[in-house]
Amino acid sequence: MIAYQVAAKATRDALFLSTFPVTALPAMMIGTSLLAIGVAYAGTRALNAWGPERVIPAGFAGSAALLLLEWAISFPFRSVAAVLVYLHYSCLGALLISGFWSFVNERFDPRTAKRLLGRISAGGSVGGLLGGLVASQVSRGLPVTTMIPILAIFHLVCAGAVLRLRPTTPAPARTASGAAAPRRSNRQVLAESSYLRGLIALVLLVTLSEGLLDLVLKGRASIALGQGGDLLRFFAIFYTGVSILTLVVQAIGSRIALEKLGPARTAALLPATTAAVATAAVVVPGLPSAVAARGLESVISNSLYRGGYEVLFTPVPAREKRSFKAIADVGASRMGDFLAAAVGQAVVMISMPHSGMALSAIAAVCSLVGAWIALRLHAGYSQSLARGLVSRAVQLDLSDVRDSATRSTILKTLGPLALSQVLRSPTRGEFAMSDAAPGGGDHRAGGSTAGVAAEDDPLHARIRELHSGDPSRVIRAIRAEPLAEPMLEHVIPLLGWDDVAREVIEVLRQTGPVATGLLVARLLDPDEDFTIRRRIPLVLATYRDRAAMEGLVAGLADRRFEVRYRCGRGLAHMVDLDPTLTITREVAFRAVLREVESGGGVWESRSLLDRMDDESWSPVMDEFVRDRANRSLEHVFTLLALALPRQPLRIAFRGLHTDDPLLRGTALEYLETTLPPEIRKPLWPYLEDNRPRRPGPAPPAHDALQALLQSSESIVLRLEDLKRLHKSKEEERPD
């Protein structure tokens, strides 16, 4: 395909300039651009109606047939053939390339595209070299028109090759009822999407700059070389040299640029480079500077820019891609050619002195604007990835789930997050008890009745009931009336008693922020019973109180993982209850860094000792991943959701646990684009670790134990708990 493009471009230019004067070129460019815009519109209709898998092979075959017809016309009517070949290349050739790229990038998620589109572009660079060599050899002793049937053979090969590909076209999104989603008009989509407008504007400015530099090159070449075979040889050598340099740059820099800079900044390299070389052509005018400017622009365009630009289109939904990619690739390109030709025609009409310098200066200004637009596309790329996550998740669920009730439930989870404002109180069987059955009132209440006054007033009577050791009496006591502040010291320790813990949590929630100070103090006290500390966030999270939020934030640095885990969930729930209670991105990211620096073995081994009623508090967990997700990774994503948009983050978390490569790849690309480098680098091995795993020599048992003890304080604390339990059992064992 690219061999055709390079050879056809040399043939088009040589045939036209050997038949017509160079002053006719701007008018030809204007007419071609207007026709190409109409062809692009027809192409988008065809792609939407029949899909690229049908349109593109038919287009290549039809192009080959038209080329053979043009070759036959060239014998009696050379001038007519020159015009037809010019129109053919500029209209149909560019449209087929655009359709081919649409056909290809629908098959890949954005992350895979960054790796594989570079290979495809490298293949195109090899093809460009082949096309330039063929044109160069033909120019040595054969007429220019000899190239036309060779071009037809190239497109016949393309038609056969594309037929072998099989698309993976996603199904249209449907609503819960199964009806097709309402389709917006192209005008509505374009009006609502600044990202698509930015892509179209970038193509327009890049093509305008290219067209101006092309006019400068062709004008200087025509003056210096005259007409005929010398022109074909010059253009063939020029395009061959450009293809060689493109191949080198593609092989060395394309993947590195995409991975280090991202697609938007990689695409920005083209207009930035063009601005520099166009400025140089103004300072040092002449054929050599025109060759250098146009050549370097073409090298960057067909290597780095092409890879970045195509990746920028990958997160765009397939329907919008088919509607707008041809408009961007062909319509905007031809509009850029039209504007370049109009500027060139104006220069010819007014006989402007130093016209080449003027055109180069305009190209430099347009390129600077294009670089600015390309850099702004980075934010739009992240937003499009988020949209792509939602779109792909909906397509998967609606294509895989046939049950209407299940489908409806899934759609609700993918819509705006609606965490419960009031938590359910599930039955006792829904969570695992972590403590033994009560053996005495003093032990279960967390203290003794010493210090409790003997007076038989209602307050003291309730306190005595709290220390009774009888679950039914304790529950009646805490439910009798709202808790007075003096009772809090006696109620909070009851969080460690499984038989009454749920009732205590509910009563403390109803008490309100008056209990905040005591709860925060107990939460942050490392000597407090662990069971009590890990349940305090279940209470604090329901207070719409800044002090409670600060206590939960402080709990994110606790030595015990489950305390940090519940504090993270509690903060997510508190923000959901009151959006004015927010924490800074720095605080959330600092907590994430603490988690990922704990070590891989500890990361994988974390689990929960009991499950309470905070499942719905998780901003990222749903039924699909509940049994698959690693608790450490869930906690990290919960913390990230405090600083980043929740819905795409939730679907990204889900995508990491799915078997669908498109959703997983889109999730990874979204995270790589959104996360700051200081977070992304240490977190990435837990998301995508493709390093080869080779078993090494097993360390001695003593060294392995020491490594585990040093890797996490949580493990040390857990081992200490087990030691104490073992010691107490040994003491109780009869001699």
How far apart, in whole angstroms, are the C-alpha atoms of residue 683 and residue 508?
A: 37
Q: Determine the average pLDDT of the residues in 386-394.
A: 64
Q: Determine the average pLDDT of the residues in 693-699.
A: 45
User: Looking at residue 61, what is its pLDDT?
Assistant: 93
How far apart, in whole angstroms, are the C-alpha atoms of residue 395 and residue 389?
A: 10
Residue 658, CA distances (Å) to 316, 405, 467, 625, 662 in order: 21, 21, 50, 9, 10
SS3 category, 207: helix
Q: What confidence tens digit (pLDDT) does each residue in 464-495 have?
A: 888 888 888 888 888 877 777 888 888 888 88
Residues 658 and 109 sit within 8 Å (Cβ to Cβ) = no
Residues 208 and 333 sit within 8 Å (Cβ to Cβ) = no
Residue 145, CA distances (Å) to 16, 68, 148, 233, 580 in order: 11, 11, 6, 14, 72
Residues 391 and 167 sit within 8 Å (Cβ to Cβ) = no
Q: Which residue has the higher pLDDT, 351 or 575?
A: 575
Query: Residue 227 pLDDT > 70, yes or no?
Result: no
Q: Determine the average pLDDT of the residues in 496-506.
A: 87
Residues of the chain above pLDDT 70, percent: 76
Q: Determine the average pLDDT of the residues in 607-623.
A: 66
Q: Which of 176, 211, 358 is nearest to 279 (CA)?
A: 358
- Provide the pLDDT confidence category of residue 400 given band limits of 50, 70 and 90: very low
**What count of other Cβ atoms lies within 10 Å of the Cβ of residue 99?**
26
User: Looking at residue 373, what is its pLDDT?
Assistant: 93
| Residue 287 CB contacts under 8 Å (≥ 6 apart), including other chains | 217, 220, 221, 224
User: Looking at residue 184, what is its pLDDT?
Assistant: 62
Question: Lowest mean pLDDT: which of 224-233, 356-365, 524-533, 537-546?
Answer: 224-233
481: left (phi over 0), alpha (psi -120 to 50) or beta: beta
Query: Residue 511 pLDDT > 60, yes or no?
Result: yes
Residues 323 and 266 sit within 8 Å (Cβ to Cβ) = no
User: Looking at residue 374, what is its pLDDT?
Assistant: 92
How far apart, in whole angstroms, are the C-alpha atoms of residue 262 and residue 271?
A: 16
The DSSP result for 234-288, as a single string, is HHHHHHHHHHHHHHHHHHHHHHHHHHHH-HHHHHHHHHHHHHHHHHHHHHS-SHH
Q: Which residue has the higher pLDDT, 7 or 710?
A: 7
Q: Of 21-30, 232-241, 470-479, where does the model show the most confidence?
A: 470-479
Q: Which two tokens stand for residue 380?
A: 């739009």
User: Looking at residue 427, what is its pLDDT?
Assistant: 34
> Considering the entire predicted model, what is its pTM?
0.60
How far apart, in whole angstroms, are the C-alpha atoms of residue 648 and residue 653?
A: 8
How far apart, in whole angstroms, are the C-alpha atoms of residue 573 and residue 671?
A: 23
Backbone angles phi, psi at 75, to 5 degrees: -70, -50
User: Looking at residue 705, what is its pLDDT?
Assistant: 46
Site of tokens 């076209």: 169
Site of tokens 């604090």: 540
Site of tokens 């959901």: 576
- Provide the pLDDT confidence category of residue 352 given band limits of 50, 70 and 90: low
Question: Residue 183 half-sphere exposure, CB side, CA atoms within 13 Å?
Answer: 10
Q: Which residue has the higher pLDDT, 351 or 103?
A: 103
Q: Determine the average pLDDT of the residues in 124-145.
A: 82
How far apart, in whole angstroms, are the C-alpha atoms of residue 647 and residue 657?
A: 16
Residues of the chain above pLDDT 90, percent: 14
User: Looking at residue 718, what is its pLDDT?
Assistant: 53
Q: Determine the average pLDDT of the residues in 289-316.
A: 86
Buried-exposed string 493-524: b where 16+ CB fall within 10 A, e elsewhere:
bbbbbbbbbbbbbbbbbebeeebbebbbebbb
How far apart, in whole angstroms, are the C-alpha atoms of residue 615 and residue 636?
A: 16
Q: Which residue has the higher pLDDT, 55 or 452?
A: 55
How far apart, in whole angstroms, are the C-alpha atoms of residue 101 and residue 85?
A: 23
Site of tokens 């319509």: 331
- Provide the pLDDT confidence category of residue 438 given band limits of 50, 70 and 90: very low
457: left (phi over 0), alpha (psi -120 to 50) or beta: beta
Per-residue H/E/C for 401-450: CCCHHHHHHHHHHHCCCCCCCCCCCCCHHHCCCCCCCCCCHHHHHCCCCC
Backbone angles phi, psi at 419, to 5 degrees: -70, 145
Torsion angle (degrees, nearest 10) of CA 82, 86, 92, 97 = 130
- Provide the pLDDT confidence category of residue 609 given band limits of 50, 70 and 90: low
Question: Residue 186 half-sphere exposure, CB side, CA atoms within 13 Å?
Answer: 14
User: Looking at residue 407, what is its pLDDT?
Assistant: 40
Residue 721, CA distances (Å) to 365, 428, 564, 724 in order: 70, 25, 18, 5
How far apart, in whole angstroms, are the C-alpha atoms of residue 220 and residue 242?
A: 18
Residues 345 and 30 sit within 8 Å (Cβ to Cβ) = yes
SS3 category, 180: strand
How far apart, in whole angstroms, are the C-alpha atoms of residue 523 and residue 494?
A: 14
Q: Determine the average pLDDT of the residues in 160-173.
A: 65
How far apart, in whole angstroms, are the C-alpha atoms of residue 205 and residue 134?
A: 31
User: Looking at residue 173, what is its pLDDT?
Assistant: 45
Q: Determine the average pLDDT of the residues in 639-648.
A: 85
Backbone angles phi, psi at 402, to 5 degrees: -95, -25
Q: Determine the average pLDDT of the residues in 406-412.
A: 38
SS3 category, 174: strand
Query: Residue 433 pLDDT > 70, yes or no?
Result: no
Q: Determine the average pLDDT of the residues in 503-512.
A: 88
How far apart, in whole angstroms, are the C-alpha atoms of residue 396 and residue 660?
A: 8
Q: Where are the domains of the chain?
A: 2-166+188-400, 428-687, 699-705+713-732
The DSSP result for 54-79, as a single string, is HHHHHHHHHHHHHHHHHHHHHTT-HH
- Provide the pLDDT confidence category of residue 455 given band limits of 50, 70 and 90: very low
CATH class of 2-166+188-400: mainly alpha
Q: What confidence tens digit (pLDDT) does each residue in 29-82 have?
A: 888 888 888 888 888 888 778 877 888 899 999 999 999 999 999 999 999 999
- Looking at every residue in the chain, the average pLDDT score rounds to 76
User: Looking at residue 625, what is its pLDDT?
Assistant: 62
Q: Determine the average pLDDT of the residues in 582-610.
A: 74
How far apart, in whole angstroms, are the C-alpha atoms of residue 429 and residue 346?
A: 83
